[in-house]
Structure 1
Amino acid sequence: MTKNAQRLSQVISTFGPGAMVDLPTRSVVVGGLEHWDMQGNAFTTIAEPRLTTRLEQLLADQGRLAPGTRLSLRTPPVSANGAERMPRGVTAPVFPTWFVCEQVETGTTSGKATRRRRLVRWQDLDTRGRRRFVFDDGRKSEVTPIRFVAACEKGHLQDIDWRWVVHGSTPCQEPMWVEEEGTSADPAATSIVCGCGSRLSLRDAFLPGRLGKCRGERPWLLDRDPDGCGDKLKLLTRTATNTHFPQVYTVISLPTEDDELTRLVEELSADLAGVQSVGDVAQAKRFNPKVSASLGPYADGDIFDRLQRIRDGARIDARRSPKLSEFTVFASGRPEIGHNHPTAKLYAQTLPRDAWADPDARIDLSAIRNVVAVHRLREVSCLYGFTRFEAAPTSADGDIEDIQLAVRGAPISRDADWLPAIEQFGEGIFIHFDESAIARWLEREQTRPRHQKLLAGYGHWQRRFSRNAPQYPGTPYVLLHSISHALMAEICLDCGYPASSLKERVYALGSSRAGGDAEHCGILIYTASAGAQGTLGGLVAAAPRIASILHNALDRLRICSNDPVCADHEPDDKSGDRATHGAACHGCLLVAETSCEIRNLFLDRTLLIPTMAAEESSFFSAI
């Protein structure tokens, strides 16, 4: 892989449109969808009607998609072969266009030793590769992009006009430098100085309004926002993690339980995306060898009928939470879910109770109704926007919430009718919990005080949102989320999976999120990787040992390496996201944020087992 190449999953999850990427000689911003080379066979269409239909509805409601627009999902562009003169890829404009020379000039300011480096523009660099700056005396210096840019809460991004910031309306064309005192990274020790004597401390650049008004620039789209802006610009460190938070929608593909023809049509739904009539089916057979080979013996009318059924089912399914549809399939109790076929999107088996419920287990398993071994699943993730400064939270039911953050989601295209997506294949374990057992635990006198503390912590946390905060997911969700994290950590030790390779889907779904009963309770722990046709089966093999794994996971949580500080932590109003936590830290329940579906929020091991601080509210009172 070259230094200028990214994996498909990175383009969706990390370096999508609007994100800044460091290259060996410069920094660039990843271009919008109009600047992706999608000609010929550079991409693959991904068929997931549930996902596209839901995004069409939600994005149209938010005014980010024209009503009636039909979306399609496409993979990022990939070069067909290494012999191409210019590999397929994504255009990435140079940004920022201010650079700092690496050649250091030393001096003194007010009796203090200082170091300063020349500040230059992109157009000031040599014309051969734009890698060096040539001083007036002929000296040459390598350059690096300046670390600071300006952005607003709508996601707009622009270069800082350093001359205006330092001089105001006074014109000046004298050379400028970045001057540093000492070796600390303190903004107060770094200044932008001009040959005329004017200077600006970076500490002052953080003041509201000091950088001026936003012009609505969108360098990833090579334009300006037609709606304008005018918000106050904020200083943004180019390499900081808060420069780009992708908005990704993820679903687990579900099987279509019908005849053989329906299964074949579903497998070829990506190739049949443009079919709108029976006549189109005949054309697809004629010009697409793949369709002809699979569907040739079947009548065109029957094929179109099955295609319409699949699309209608997706529209109906899109009206409810994607997690509810997934839970309904996994918790059906059927011995076999889906088809055991290499091309199947989902195949799982509900294990008999005597296959996993060890009678000698030192833990009460009555709260677990079923364990499902998911031999094969497909996860589809789609990028539809991004935010800066703050990440837009995902709701506990897996849907897109209309959250009024201080920041707003920015578009990744001007008017494209497709979105970038990836499909990943893997395996997993689904555990269906007894909803009535969780309801009884929630009503216990000993559980109510902890429930009230978690609600109070949520009340403090939600004040960070300007208007509508994400709804409280419910104390049953906090319970299941904590169990999921405990199991992921233990499964990694048991199966040898890297901790960051596992993911979760927590199902605590009900008519109310005010901390009441959840009508559907379960967790799915799975692993998935792009381009893989399944994994080695480690998770599926662990399903019969789930009683032992759960016991070991809970036993490990009794003592945290950060106790008693961790055990004594209470949800409060002084620690940001920590206000959503009870006893939880990186020593016990927190995992990689790429593995957690809700950014490590709403966790509490006190709900699971007795700790040195409390034991009254534990769900598993004896292990």
Structure 2
Amino acid sequence: MSKNAQRLSQLVSTFGPGSMVDLPTRSIVVGGLEQWDMRPGTFQPVSEPRLAQRLQILLQERGQLDQGQRLNLRTPPVSDGNGEPKGVAAPIFPNWFVCDQVEANAEGTPTRRRRLVQWRDLDPKGRRRFTPEGGKRTEVTPIRFVCACDKGHLQDIEWRWVVHGATPCQEPMWIEERGTSADPADTSVVCGCGKRLSLQEAFQPRRLGFCKGERPWLLDRDPNGCGDGTTPLKLLTRTATNTYFPQVLTVISLPSEEDVLTKLVDEIIGEMNKVTSIERVGLFREFNEAAAASLTRYSDAEIFDCLTRLREGATADAARSPKVAEFDLFASGRPEIGTNHPGAKLYAQTLARSDWDDGSWASLKFVQALVAVHRLREVSCLYGFTRFEAAPTAADGDIEDISLAVHGAPIARATDWLPACEQFGEGLFVHVDSDAIATWLNGAGDRHRQLVGGYNRWKIRFGAAAPKYPTTPYVLLHSLAHALMTEIALDCGYPASSLKERIYALGPNGAERCGILLYTASAGAQGTLGGLVGTAPRFAQILRAALERIIICSNDPICCDHDPEHQTGDRATHGAACHGCLLIAETSCESRNLFLDRSLLVPTMSTPRFACFEC
């Protein structure tokens, strides 16, 4: 089992608590935080006070953290070098399996029939084989279908009840398939007594029964929901993409530049959560000799005073969007931001305009400044997840409002810590002139109304608690970021999927603070190779090439004729945007490829008058 491993960053995103993972011999659900082996020496604290403080408020509002407790961030467990690696417990799920051996159909019809068995029926030695009555032992595979509800609860389908209803029956059951299309109508669950159920029928409302509030990743039933037998279960394909949508809050670390003591305390603040008085500083020194060695020159009172100031600053930042503080720092115009040393959280330089603009292109006045971010630290923290529908991302980078048709599920019953990972990299910050955005917006009123109309159709599925429209300047900057990422990948050599974005369209109408941060970051590395920062002198040429590339899409005129007001689903959030022009890997996009429109950037065949740039 030692080979059943995941990367730390995967446990904070794709495969966090509550997600289902296929292993060579079975399928499991990743256990909640109570089942993570977090003994001393198996994890590292992650210091990011702004992020911890914001999530602390969230957990206290949800009742998962007592009002007096402090939240801390930790990496997932890793090997401490002594014996077996410490890890994450993962219960078997689902408990129903399908035999690999195809049996002959007694009726003689051309179907593939395979035995349906439970975990308790398998060989107890290997737990991956089943021996039928008087038959040959066969390998088994976890069944593809489970059921869940909109609150994230998850359980096995009660196949005997679904097929027979209240009538008891202990005859063997089989999965029977016809054809090769995988159509639900061609797949049935058949019992030895003669009763059968088509999977097409299983999609019918209430056909699978009602949710019992089961949370197999927490080994319990939810005491606050779905116990009244009124929430219907939905069929869920175990390996489908809608089984798990992680809720992750990400921030870019900002530098502490007050004095030496502040920097020292800031580096270990994640280990000082229980230091709530001057007396406890002495205890911290006594039991954490490595950290105390760097603080030898300072008294307990000085250390506690510095710690208090850092906490108060984090509390103040927690009251506003994380992106506001990031933008204000990047757009400050300071020649150097942060300090240039290997342990720095952030180091950037605001470039002189002559370094990247030769004055030959008038449209480049839209860009107010360009910042080369030589080193940055990104911290991401998992705090929940949803099923069936991803919680929409807030344009200001804050925690999503998840009181939607789906609800965020917890990753622990109660905890004073959350899993986080830090990644290091580089990037470019493009400071966009807010006055130019406001002027352009005045002339794009018709397109603005079309985009808002599409958004109004899209938000219907969320009911009264629909997310806010991210503003038309956000759509403009988001579209520009995607165009730039595609072109930069061609220029600098990084694969497009390794680039990420943060869009800053802040303020009531999205035009108060405007900018784009394009960056790349990876876990377990002390930065990247400088290829992204190296594109800064060529930024004007890259921007122009990116815009020229999307004037014509390979899917035109269908793409440019796309009217968001007459679309359904996620397509209602798009203007002229498709996989041929603006859509990129969803892991690179902060909004899951929603809210894009190239007609806001450049003239297209159908909408030439709303373009912000002239190529």
* TM-score computed with the length of structure 2 as normaliser: 0.97
Match of 2:426 in 1: 427
Provide the C-alpha distance between the structure 2 equivalents of 1:188 and 1:16, rounded to a whole number of angstroms.
33
Q: 1:64: how far off? A: 4.5
Provide the C-alpha distance between the structure 1 equivalents of 2:205 and 2:67, rounded to a whole number of angstroms.
37
Superposition map of 1:138-537 within 5 A: 138-229=135-226, 230=229, 231-360=231-360, 362=361, 364-444=363-443, 447-510=444-507, 512=508, 516=509, 518-537=511-530
Provide the C-alpha distance between the structure 2 equivalents of 1:273 and 1:68, rounded to a whole number of angstroms.
12
Q: Deviations over 1:109-165 (max 9, x none)?
A: 5x7411100000111111111111011114111000011011111111111111111
Contact residue 505 and residue 597 of structure 1 kept, 8 A: yes
- Deviating 4+ runs (over 6 angstroms): none
Contact residue 64 and residue 414 of structure 2 kept, 8 A: no
Provide the C-alpha distance between the structure 2 equivalents of 1:433 and 1:488, rounded to a whole number of angstroms.
16
1:137 aligns to 2:130 (yes or no) = no
1:91 aligns to 2:89 (yes or no) = yes
Contact residue 217 and residue 223 of structure 1 kept, 8 A: yes
1:103 aligns to 2:101 (yes or no) = yes
Q: Which blocks of at least 5 consecutive residues in structure 2 are unaligned? A: none
Provide the C-alpha distance between the structure 1 equivalents of 2:69 and 2:147, rounded to a whole number of angstroms.
33
Provide the C-alpha distance between the structure 2 equivalents of 1:143 and 1:92, rounded to a whole number of angstroms.
19
Provide the C-alpha distance between the structure 2 equivalents of 1:462 and 1:398, rounded to a whole number of angstroms.
19
Contact residue 457 and residue 568 of structure 2 kept, 8 A: no
Q: 1:338: how far off? A: 1.1
Provide the C-alpha distance between the structure 1 equivalents of 2:349 and 2:428, rounded to a whole number of angstroms.
10
Match of 2:555 in 1: 562
1:56 aligns to 2:56 (yes or no) = yes
Q: 1:568: how far off? A: 1.2
1:26 aligns to 2:19 (yes or no) = no
Contact residue 378 and residue 424 of structure 2 kept, 8 A: yes
Q: Which is further off, 65-74 or 260-269?
A: 65-74
1:125 aligns to 2:118 (yes or no) = no
Q: Deviations over 1:315-350 (max 9, x none)?
A: 011101111111111111111111112111111111
Provide the C-alpha distance between the structure 2 equivalents of 1:277 and 1:140, rounded to a whole number of angstroms.
65
Q: 1:184: how far off? A: 1.6
Contact residue 451 and residue 565 of structure 2 kept, 8 A: no
Which amino acid in 1 is paired with 2:570? D
Q: Deviations over 1:238-274 (max 9, x none)?
A: 1101111111011111112311221122122223333
Q: Deviations over 1:365-388 (max 9, x none)?
A: 111111111111111100001111
Q: Which blocks of at least 5 consecutive residues in structure 1 are unaligned? A: none
Contact residue 202 and residue 235 of structure 2 kept, 8 A: yes
Specify which of 589, 592, 604 is matched with residue 611 of structure 1: 604
Q: 1:284: how far off? A: 2.8
Contact residue 461 and residue 573 of structure 1 kept, 8 A: no
Contact residue 267 and residue 343 of structure 1 kept, 8 A: no
Provide the C-alpha distance between the structure 2 equivalents of 1:67 and 1:279, rounded to a whole number of angstroms.
22
Which amino acid in 1 is paired with 2:473? P
Q: 1:517: how far off? A: 5.3
Q: Which is further off, 172-181 or 279-288?
A: 279-288
Which amino acid in 1 is paired with 2:301? G
Provide the C-alpha distance between the structure 1 equivalents of 2:451 and 2:292, rounded to a whole number of angstroms.
58
Q: 1:363: how far off? A: 5.2
Q: The residue matched to 1:226 in structure 2 has which SS?
A: coil
Cα separation, partners in 2 of 1:459 and 1:172, compared to 1, 3 Å: same
* TM-score computed with the length of structure 1 as normaliser: 0.96
Q: Which is further off, 539-548 or 378-387?
A: 539-548
Provide the C-alpha distance between the structure 1 equivalents of 2:486 and 2:510, rounded to a whole number of angstroms.
27
Q: 1:610: how far off? A: 1.0
Provide the C-alpha distance between the structure 1 equivalents of 2:209 and 2:335, rounded to a whole number of angstroms.
64
Q: Deviations over 1:274-313 (max 9, x none)?
A: 3222232233333323323322112222222111111100
Cα separation, partners in 2 of 1:281 and 1:441, compared to 1, 3 Å: same
Provide the C-alpha distance between the structure 1 equivalents of 2:582 and 2:460, rounded to a whole number of angstroms.
25
